[in-house]
Amino acid sequence: MTGLNQRAGNWIDGLRLIVRRTKPAARHAKKLTDLEKRTGWRYAIVATSIRRIHGVPGSHHPQWLDALHRSHAGVQDQVRTNKAIGLRNLPSKSWTVNRGWVLAANIAADLAAWTRLLGLHDQPDLAHAEPGTLRYRLLHLPAKLTTHARRRTLSISIPGPGPTRSNSAGNA
């Protein structure tokens, strides 16, 4: 595609366009262009200035560069997930407070990833769930903590019809 682009004269030397053609999945149906709807193919274009990586045989082939850029999508997905967990807004103008916030947000992202990998691998709707879905489905439990006679009681509502279950939380 690089030789077909009329605007390539304004771009940096060595820039290449790589086009990948795939059958669209159902989730892409709303975002297809008119050309993609007409042809029945979905097109993804990558612009890269990588010519060859020294010491890596085959790194000059377009297929290798396409695989390299597709693998980077996993990194971009993690950045999006970390922003959803708490990195979008830093709470302070203080470097020290924001450094602690970033650490806490990264720990939360790691815990969510390990929870999905180890605890939810057999749940098809939660194994690859977004942070908002995990928050809603796992962490939002209606409960009430009450104290009577120096004893704390945690009442967790069971979803659906039926009584509530009470667990004693001890004297914490």
pLDDT for 53 equals 80
Q: Measured between alpha carbons, how far is 81 from 99 in angstroms, rounded to an integer?
A: 18
**Angle CA 122–124–130, to nearest 5:** 115
Query: What stretch of H or E contains 18?
Result: strand 16-22
pLDDT given for residue 47 in this prediction: 81
pLDDT of residue 156: 81
The total number of residues shown for the chain amounts to 172
Q: What local confidence, expressed as pLDDT, does residue 172 receive?
A: 46
pLDDT in tens, the chain (172 residues): 556 666 666 777 777 888 888 899 888 888 899 999 999 999 888 888 877 787 888 877 888 888 888 877 778 888 888 888 888 888 899 999 999 999 999 999 999 989 999 999 998 888 888 888 888 888 787 888 899 999 999 888 776 654 555 555 544 4
- Do the beta carbons of residue 143 and residue 164 sit within 8 Å? no
Beta bridge partners of 151: 148
Residue-level pLDDT at 150? 92
